[in-house]
Amino acid sequence: MTKTSSSRSPIHVIGGGLAGSEAAWQIARRGLPVILHEMRPVRGTEAHKTDSLAELVCSNSFRSDDAENNAVGVIHAEMRLAGSLIMACADRNQVPAGGALAVDREGFAQAVTDAIEAEPLITIAREEVTGLPPADWGQTIIATGPLTAPGLAEAISAETGQDALAFFDAIAPIIHTDSIDMSVCWFQSRYDKVGPGGTGKDYINCPMDKDQYDAFIDALIAGDTTGFKEWEGTPYFDGCLPIEIMAERGRETLRYGPMKPMGLTNAHQPDVKAYAVVQLRQDNALGTLYNMVGFQTKLKYGAQGDIIRMIPGLQNAEFARLGGLHRNTYLNSPLLLDGKLQLKSRPGLRFAGQITGCEGYVESAAMGLLAGRFAAAEVLGEELAPPPVTSAFGALLNHITGGHILSDDEPGKRSFQPMNVNFGLFPPLDPGAIVKPEGGGRFRGKDKAKAKKQAMARRALADFGEWLDPAAAQDAAE
């Protein structure tokens, strides 16, 4: 039975997870009718246990709630400013978790479900959408996540191209550039090759002698790895073998693979030939993040960080994300979506949540919030610009829709990888933005890094608040 009373045609949202529920809520808040299509319980998934909306299938943690020092905490704060249903329900169902925001998973999902069911402008359609929505649906958002049903996934592949939708995600660790020790490492492309847009110094290189290499291989082979979940069924492909599997195939395998030293000269010790070299490639347009070439891994996170920090130059590495290999249905969004999450080949069809190439509960919900607002603005004839890239919302959206670097040396290979929100996605600060210690003294230890994060957080919340309400920001300035 339809509850909507508006004379306007409804906006359709496919998928009742965190992103879809948030998108539907934001649309209804703007006075527009919504049909939220959720296939459970008509068709279940290997991971979900209930038919509740916004069911949490993994952890019950929304991670750090520190809006002064952590990018996740910043996006929490921005979502609250934007009237997020997901954050409101999380706050009402919080359980003790130190500085993190963790929730009673059943209470949280029930709260989201109750709110959506009680909203007169939202109709829940319990049905599977097996193909792309028909054109006469008008504005539509697909928010089906990493467990998109096969029929819809095949339809998306057919629309976007064979290589546009990834079903298995082989991820190498990504490191904050400013945590790499450049007194040990150096910039150089192999054989000084200058590719399109390159300079011949496009990689950061970390040298190893034989003893260091042998110790690294021993640690890899002994490292604690994560097995595949039963429902993932993820195969290994020769083109993206985990580094620990390559090491098990022979001690020299990595030295003749991703860690080969040929064509590289250590700028700090030109006369010393490295036994092996780990290369890192720029990962985002800002140059604040670098990924480890060929280092996809199934090592558990604790072991992974310890082993990677054995590499000379990476002893103090800070990770934007650690590596992994798992099932993850996501679009090659920078090629396919515009800056408002709309499919370039089909105006009016938007994507939101994990299928766009973001990771994490709050990140998925944030993209649902944006997709809902963009779709509503389109129907209402309003102009809604994307949020500023200095905000957590804008930084994550920019990563999804164009902030990555294409792989010049491997034509056709997708370089875009899913990402949690982190300060490495934010633009650099303006000079003088970092508040110095009282009395103008020098920073001690990690105090400068902390001050930098706090300055980015302040800028993000101020700029996002202005995006939400430009008039209020102007009045405050006056």
Residue 245, both tokens: 């599997």
Residue 361, both tokens: 């509960």
The annotation status of 381 as a binding-site residue, yes or no, is no
Residue 15, both tokens: 């998928």
Residue 358, both tokens: 């973001």
The annotation status of 239 as a binding-site residue, yes or no, is no
For the chain, helix (H) and strand (E) counts, in that order, are 13, 16
The annotation status of 432 as a binding-site residue, yes or no, is no
Reduced to 3 states, what is the DSSP secondary structure of residue 205?
Answer: strand
Gap between the Cα atoms of 229 and 237, Å rounded: 17
Residue 175, both tokens: 């490191």
Q: Which residues pair with 174 in a beta bridge?
A: 291, 321
The answer to whether the beta carbons of residues 156 and 132 sit under 8 Å apart is yes
The annotation status of 222 as a binding-site residue, yes or no, is no
Nearest Cα to Cα of residue 182 among 215, 212, 207:
207
Residue 310, both tokens: 């054995």
Gap between the Cα atoms of 94 and 97, Å rounded: 9
The annotation status of 314 as a binding-site residue, yes or no, is no
The sheet with strand 174-176 has its strands ordered as 186-187, 203-208, 276-282, 289-292, 174-176, 319-321
The answer to whether the beta carbons of residues 91 and 405 sit under 8 Å apart is no
Rg value, the chain, Cα: 23
C-alpha count within 13 angstroms, C-beta hemisphere, residue 285? 13
The answer to whether the beta carbons of residues 275 and 261 sit under 8 Å apart is yes
The annotation status of 85 as a binding-site residue, yes or no, is no
User: Which residues make up each annotated binding site?
Assistant: 15-20
User: Which residues make up each annotated binding site for FAD?
Assistant: 15-20
